[in-house]
Amino acid sequence: MMKKLNFIFVAFLLLGLLMSWAMLENSFFFFVKWYCVLLLLGTIFFPMTATIFKNFQDKGWNFSKVIGLGISGLVFWNLSYLKILKLNAFSCYIVVLVFLLMNLFFLKKNKELLIKQGKKLFPVIMKSELFFFYFFMFWTYYRCFSSGINFETEKYMNYGFLNQLLHCEYLPVEDIWLSGFNVNYYYFGHFLAAFLGKLTFSEVGECFQLFVTLVSTLTAVLPYHICFELGKHFSKDYSNNVIPRVMGIVAALAVSLGGTMYFVIYNFFVPRTTPYYYWEDSRYIDFREGSDDQTINEVVPYSNALGDMHAHHIDTMFSFLVIAILLDLFLEEKPNEMEKMLSMRTVMLGCVLGIQRMTNLWDFVIYLVVIMISFVFYHFSQYHFSKKTVVSTVYTLIEIVLVSLVVSFLFMSHLYIGSIKILLTPIRSPFYQMCVLWGLYTICVLTFIAKLICVWLKEKKEHHFWKQLCEYIARIKTTDLFVFILGCCAIGLILIPEVVYVRDIYQDAQRRSNTVYKLWYEAEILFDIATTYILVQWLVEKKKMKQKIVPIILMSFYVLTFGYGINALVFSANHFDSPYFSSLDQTEKFLAEQYPGDYRAVQWVKQNVPSDAIVVEKTVRSYGFHPVISVFCGNPTILGWADHEWIWRSNPDYSTPEEVSTRWEDVWKLYRLDDKEELSRIIQKYGISYLYVSDHPEDDWKIANLRTLLSLGKIVYEDSTGNGESPIYLIQF
């Protein structure tokens, strides 16, 4: 039987490799290289992962890839920050080798779990691995149709960060858009991409695209495993795995492709004069000209289609990891209180929270609350209400928080965080628009909660309130209790911006835009997992057909929302037409086609200018073509996108930092001023090595002092054809 399963696994893997070779063409080698490294990381960290996911059928096989990447990256970041290890491939493999030895200890400690049960475990692992492989292949294929890097989104910024990380020697990394300063941003996710890039010996373009591919893959694979386990433990009374698999597949599609009911309503039912565009959903809540409230409500499939290395999108893998660890806690059949306080599970939760603190601070706060609520319910359901239970719960939560603070201490120590003010929301979302976005999920969750409350009220007696409540919670099916927590947290996340918001530099109509954006993004993840479980549960319960009509209708609408992601992918990939197919390393394709003069200059700079040399370029407020050299070559410039630096370094009163304002003026002088003495002062002040001259028609200002600049330096690169209107120069001082 085992030989037959081995043959089937190898056959499907070879079939997948043949398919990927035919589909990916020149990108096949990139795909295989990354897949092998991810498989290696997952295999090395599997013994550690299995000690945490004891109650998962496959012992958390695909979560081991996330744990391997996160933990090894976390250790390596701190060692590089302390100047112990250089940021190169050799050092990366040293860290992985150390963890290999550590995991051999876990393997020895868990012989019975991993070796003696190997015959039963191996077929399950093979299925999990094939599931990951085929999703990774699909998303790699999709990225081949959408691999360009342009300045219309933050791809420019993220690509530049990654470029700098791949070139730097030690951490922390210098800000390419504010030379002389460290990056003041939650860039740990970008560092993980660079870490994988070093392990796979990848160039920046390939690294950017395949890391985004990995994140998109995990948005399907990890929810599948979470809901598979929910379904497996919910359906113990059933004798097959059909229900868990259905639940897992629905969750995978819901998270990675599913949008909101906006897509269903405004694409199928509301008459339109223009074709549906997937960006519409993300700018729905009163995002109209003249509105007093303009919010952003992006969802995971939007990020998958966009293909950007956003911090909140990267962090989804760790969000799923937190949810999965908490689920394994709830699935413990014979819990022991002291083991929970001292277990690998609580230590890992602390490490993952620390990673989230370094990757996206919003998620750190969100999942800290989710963890707290989960442990309170879990401990009170297992040990009932007592002083000892309260103490143990508090102790465990303190342990998790302390671990998270310790592992992220060095990263946060050099990060400047401006004033944080929580203010009351002066204007709220229209009720009908909230219903369009969240009505389907909320109906399912509230109905589910109401059912649990009704059962409690029927059993409740007049006395011993807390005792009866704890006893009732203990009787609730563990999966029901877990989904109840996720559903309540999701509802809380969508309601918080209707009451308060976190102030940032955006004011007036966009005052709560960022708060809505970050909280609702995670709410959609929690809603998808909870809604999938609730709807599948309703459909499989033994009831008459009449009682299943409403669940069938709700499930139908829920499945229709999956069309959002399909629509977005088809649009972004130009309908998968072969002329648009390109290799994953063709990230500079848009530059070569639309700005050929600048493209040639970029290639010359890569070959002839040291990556740490400061190259001055024109600056823009945000989302502009300049500065192109810093993005594609990784060279720091004295000021890049000024408004982004303002966001990252704003004063306590949210005004523009003096450093940013000063540098804006100095850049203007370098291109416009004829005062030789002042120009020399600025060059010496910032240690400028080169100045890049490239005038575009859309530029706010063009160079007016070329003769004066040439008296201070010399032209080392010139392209007389330029961009079609004016020559391009690189002046060395």
- The tens digit of pLDDT for each residue in 330-350 reads 998 765 554 455 678 899 999
pLDDT of residue 335: 58
Residue 117 has pLDDT above 70, yes or no: no
Question: How does pLDDT run across 372-389, given as a tens digit for each residue?
Answer: 999 988 887 777 767 777
pLDDT tens for residues 647-681? 999 998 888 999 999 999 999 999 999 999 999 99
pTM higher than 0.75, yes or no?
Answer: yes
pLDDT band at 460 (very low <50, low <70, confident <90, very high): low
The neighbour count for residue 578, using CB atoms within 10 Å, is 7
pLDDT value at residue 379:
83
Q: pLDDT at residue 475 above 50?
A: yes
pLDDT digits 0-9 by tens, 625-640: 999 999 999 999 999 9
Mean pLDDT of the chain: 89
SS3 label, residue 132: helix
Q: Is 445 helix (H, G, I), strand (E, B) or coil?
A: helix
Residue 87 CA to residue 171 CA, distance in Å, equals 8
The SS3 call for residue 670 is helix
Residue 217 confidence class, pLDDT cut points 50, 70, 90:
very high
Helices (H) and strands (E) in the chain, counts: 33, 6
Q: Identify the band that residue 114 occupies on the pLDDT scale cut at 50, 70 and 90.
A: low
Beta-bridge partners for 93 = none
| pLDDT of res. 339 | 47
pLDDT tier at 289 (50, 70, 90 boundaries)?
A: low
Please write the tens of the pLDDT for every residue from 563-584: 999 999 999 988 888 778 888 8
Going from the C-alpha of 38 to that of each of 141, 280, 525, the distances in angstroms are 18, 35, 24
Instruction: Decide which of 417 and 627 is more confident.
Output: 627
Higher confidence at residue 209 or residue 285? 209
Paired strand residues for 448: none
Cα Rg of the chain (Å, integer): 27
Average pLDDT over residues 453-461: 75
Q: Which residues pair with 339 in a beta bridge?
A: none
The secondary structure of 586-626 as a DSSP string is -TTHHHHHH-HHHHHHHHHHHHHS-TTS-EE---BSSSSS-
DSSP result, 537-579: HHHHSS--GGGGHHHHHHHHHHHHTTHHHHHHHHHHTGGG-GG
Q: Where are the alpha helices (DSSP H) in 286-343?
A: 300-306, 311-314, 316-330, 337-342
Residue 183 has pLDDT above 90, yes or no: yes
> How far is Cα 448 from Cα 541, in angstroms, rounded to an integer?
13
Report pLDDT for 465. Answer: 67
What is the arithmetic mean of pLDDT over 95-121? 80
Kind and range of the H or E run holding 692: strand 690-693
Task: Locate 63 and state its tokens.
Answer: 């979560």
* The pLDDT of residue 508: 80
